[in-house]
Chains A and B, each alone.
Chain A
Amino acid sequence: MKRIWHIPLLAAICWYVVASSLLLSYSPAVVFQPREEAPPPARETGGAFISGTSAGDAETLNWILAADSASFSYAGHTVDFLVTYDNEWRVQLRTAARDVEVSESGLVYTVTIRDDLVWSDGSKVTAEDYVYTLRNLMLSDWLNYPYKSDWQEEVGGEIAFITPEVVDETTFTITRQTVDPEFIYTVRNLIPYPKYIAVNYEGDIEAFTQAPEFNNLTYTGNLGPYKFGEWLRNDKFVVERNPDYYLGKDTGAPYFEQYIVKLFGTSATVHAALEAGDITYTGIDPDKVSKFKNMEGINVYTVPTTGYLFLAYNLRDNGWEGLKIREVRQALSLAVSKELIIEQVLYGFGEPAYSFIPKVSPWYVEEGVVRYGVEPLLDEEEARELLVNAGYDEPIELTLVTNAGNEQREDIGYLVKEQLSAIGIEVELKFVPWATLLRKYLMNKTPGTDEEPRYNNGPEAVSEEPWDLMVMGFNTNPLSPSGQDVFYSTSGGLNFFGYSSTQVDELLKRIKSEEALDEEARWELYTELSQLVSEEQPVDFLVFQLANVGFQDNVKGIEPGINMGYNYHLWYFE
């Protein structure tokens, strides 16, 4: 629970990154153009690829019910999305015959699937299966699909659903009533359920939840590189090579006979397993990287992630009132060194963050972005001056909270305390359990009301316990960073710190409007947004983390990068 906000280290490589990145996505010039390359040479198959992880187990293979990332990751070995992306965000066709087509109006999305996809009983996968999945499962009232809102839009103040329709056996359309230029990334991420099985459980959530076909992935046919083998809870998830995989017709891919996710209880033991050669791959903690880099037989790759750490300012009424002043926030950001955090806490594996958009995003902007926390905007004198000018020339005492047990965040807390002390701010550190942090510090409600505590109950709401600063981590979708509106827009569901800016709200809204269908226009909007938040400092954006992953050196075919798992069906043992 304690590290719940920054998943990607271990899961980043294999299918999860591919899967999660599919949700996001965009690169102005290249995304709509599928990458065309000569098919790789056929290779001999063999061996078991064992991916070690100390992250938690999946909850279900019946993925439509899942809200955790591991469940999508497990199921993703057996069923492909419509498309995926390589490390440069170029579209890689999977079950789609060609990329999703968007009408000029931006309202109609046409999807054409391959005509050689089959379910396990030999029947064809058709557009009807996709439309059924959307209409009868995802959008239904009885199933409670956790991500239903992905397929909703607000029309005239009312919530409406998209309209899916079958065109022919391999083609279907999805029609919206309002324009959202980034909706395409949701569409590209579709996976079907077999209608011929699902109809037997339709309307009965208990039966659907316990359906053996869905819980054992017995329906997946040739839709994924692997077929379900075994799942022993809290121990391992095993998939077997799928000889009928539609992408393996010419190449014989995938090349591993088995792909195993082996769960470990601690990072120490998973590291030991990699060192002993008992597993093929795992994520490596920053402090262990140099050891593994010097080890024979192990290749270590450093790859970007989409996770960033930041210092939140409590802008609600139970936080220090000075934080509501932009110049005061800037003063604090001027005093906290990002490079020191990278060097001392992340062992060098990080990059300074100036907004919520990571460097790997096609929408990353450098021009005009204010770079607080690095030279020359790392300046105690100027910070003190800003505080005095804002009327704070007396010593100030603030409280910084973070979740106990997360060493990185605790260490950042100590560094922040030390650096703010230099500008006359004394910081009291509080490390509390994760559940306490969520319930008593993040969730809020308007005093004197009976409302249910939420992460953002409006501008009047305050948390049960007062706080001023909080070290926290979020993830950004590099292709559609506007998804961060849940944190930074006034009404965002995860805007627990109470930030409110009409300018930011407006920009986020415009990025999801017809105006942004034009890529140049969207680029300008993201540029303006990046510049604005770097100036405004709704939080002190600290660092984007880099992940390290270790492979046994006999694994070939890997392309290190943000989406390095995109072609994992072509990896092989030498």
Chain B
Amino acid sequence: MRKTWLRDYILKRLFYAVIIAWGVLTITFLLVRLGPSSPADKYLTNLATRGEDPTQAIAAIEARYGLDAPLYEQYLDYMGNLLQGDWGWSFSTSMPVIELIKVHWIYSFQLILLSTILAALIGILIGIYSAVRQYSKTDYIATFFSFIGISIPNFWLGVMLILLFSVQLGLFKTYYDTSIPLLSLANLKQLILPVVTLGTGMMAGYTRYTRSAMLDNLRKDFVRTARAKGLPERTVIGKHVFRNAVLPLVTIIMFDLGSIVFGGAYLTEIIFGIPGLGRISFNAIFADDYAVVVAITLISAFLVLFINLATDVAYAYLDPRIRYD
């Protein structure tokens, strides 16, 4: 029975996902193309330097990329190509969009994955400890630092880390070096500062969520019952309290992972010169490179929908009482 309703539920959600993704695609396409700027705006500098009248050059560029065609034609063209598996040509980077994403996703992925794992591991442990030892010195210190971690801007933290550990102490390079193989210790080493930069805020957030969720559950009757039954404290905390507290955390962590594609690590990528998808997509927005923006938004939408679905399914497994209609 359980398998059947779950399968039906997944199929229904997948169908909705396609509809939602189409809506996202269409809105993004229109927003990018209807925005106030033109892909040719940035050429004004060069045109001006050369004493060039911009009208002809801008018209030439727009004609070359089909941007002079009516919007509906551009849209139908794009959709037609997409249905045939052609994601289009990125005119701001001169390569196929799908190639661009293939090359760059890994830089965002490794950064966000490592940051999330590290932040989750440390954040959850500190959160549990804080909750169990509520109002202790450790709890106050953890609370204090988690508030600082949440408040501190990524941008500022990253620059400070570079100035201290790279410029003053010379322990790391000031930027992410893409010539180092991805599967190497040297790569892990150069990811330390970016991961700390991105992970600090996440870790502080996880600490607060975990502490709060644990405290909620610690006050519940089933905990008192478990203790009254004489279960060891470790079992009470680990098996009963934490298991119930972890559910909302799963959602948060999964959504943090979902930001891999679009902008989740943009500032960290900027600071450390990491050529990830966040940086690619923001540059594409400023270049009005709609093929890239739409593709990344679409993938991002699918990823969020998928993660949402995965989270719901995980809920069902983690809590047998949950059932979706």
Chain A residues engaging chain B, CB cutoff 8 angstroms: 1, 4-7, 20, 23-24, 56-57, 59-62, 65, 67-69, 143-150, 205, 209-210, 215, 232-236, 262-266, 268-269, 272-273, 275-276, 278, 306, 434-436, 438-439, 454-455, 474-475, 477, 480, 482-487, 492-494
Which residues of chain A come closer than 8 Å to B89, judged between CB atoms?
Answer: 209-210
Q: CB distance B36 to A439 under 8 Å?
A: yes
Query: Interface of chain B, helix or strand or loop or mixed?
Result: helix
B174 located at the interface, meaning its Cβ lies under 8 Å from any Cβ of chain A in the complex: yes
A62 CA / B167 CA spacing, docked (Å): 37
Tell me how far the C-beta of A27 lies from the nearest C-beta in chain B, rounded to whole angstroms: 18
A236 CA / B103 CA spacing, docked (Å): 13
Q: CB distance A148 to B178 under 8 Å?
A: no
Q: A4-B44, A435-B36 are in contact. List 7 more A-B contacts (CB 8 A).
A: A67-B57, A147-B57, A235-B273, A264-B273, A269-B162, A455-B55, A493-B54
Q: Which chain A residue shows the least CB distance to B54?
A: A493
Q: CB distance B63 to A493 under 8 Å?
A: no
A57 CA / B174 CA spacing, docked (Å): 19
A5 CA / B44 CA spacing, docked (Å): 7
Chain B residues engaging chain A, CB cutoff 8 angstroms: 35-37, 40-57, 60-61, 63-64, 89, 91-96, 100, 103-104, 159, 162-163, 166-167, 170, 173-175, 178, 269-273, 275, 279-280, 283, 286-287
Which residues of chain A come closer than 8 Å to B162, judged between CB atoms?
Answer: 269, 272
- For B49, B104, B279, B287, the residue with the greatest tally of chain A CB atoms inside 10 Å of its CB is B49
Tell me how far the C-beta of B12 lies from the nearest C-beta in chain A, rounded to whole angstroms: 39
A-B contact pairs, 14 of them (CB 8 A): A20-B49, A59-B287, A60-B94, A67-B43, A67-B57, A67-B61, A145-B60, A210-B89, A234-B104, A262-B175, A278-B173, A435-B35, A438-B44, A439-B36
Q: CB distance A67 to B175 under 8 Å?
A: no
Which residues of chain B come closer than 8 Å to A23, judged between CB atoms?
Answer: 49-50
Q: Which chain B residue shows the least CB distance to A263?
A: B273
**A1 partner, pick from B42, B48, B104, beta carbons under 8 A:** B42
Q: CB distance A486 to B273 under 8 Å?
A: no
**A477 partner, pick from B50, B57, B92, B163, beta carbons under 8 A:** B50
Which residues of chain B come closer than 8 Å to A438, judged between CB atoms?
Answer: 37, 41, 44
Q: Which chain B residue shows the least CB distance to A238?
A: B179
Tell me how far the C-beta of B24 lies from the nearest C-beta in chain A, rounded to whole angstroms: 23
A452 CA / B47 CA spacing, docked (Å): 20
Q: Which chain A residue shows the least CB distance to B107?
A: A235
A446 CA / B315 CA spacing, docked (Å): 62
A410 CA / B272 CA spacing, docked (Å): 28
Which residues of chain B come closer than 8 Å to A233, judged between CB atoms?
Answer: 93, 95, 100, 103-104, 275, 280
A434 CA / B178 CA spacing, docked (Å): 32
Which residues of chain A come closer than 8 Å to B50, judged between CB atoms?
Answer: 20, 23-24, 147, 150, 477, 483
Q: CB distance B167 to A276 under 8 Å?
A: yes
Which residues of chain B come closer than 8 Å to A20, judged between CB atoms?
Answer: 49-50
Tell me how far the C-beta of A185 lies from the nearest C-beta in chain B, rounded to whole angstroms: 10
Q: Which chain B residue shows the least CB distance to A485?
A: B51
A475 CA / B45 CA spacing, docked (Å): 8
Q: Which chain A residue shows the least CB distance to B155?
A: A266
Q: Which chain A residue shows the least CB distance to B286?
A: A1
Q: CB distance A486 to B48 under 8 Å?
A: yes
Q: CB distance B286 to A146 under 8 Å?
A: no
**A146 partner, pick from B57, B92, B163, B280, beta carbons under 8 A:** B57
Tell me how far the C-beta of B316 lies from the nearest C-beta in chain A, rounded to whole angstroms: 41
A205 touching B55 in the complex, CB below 8 Å, given contacts A147-B50, A265-B279, A268-B159: no
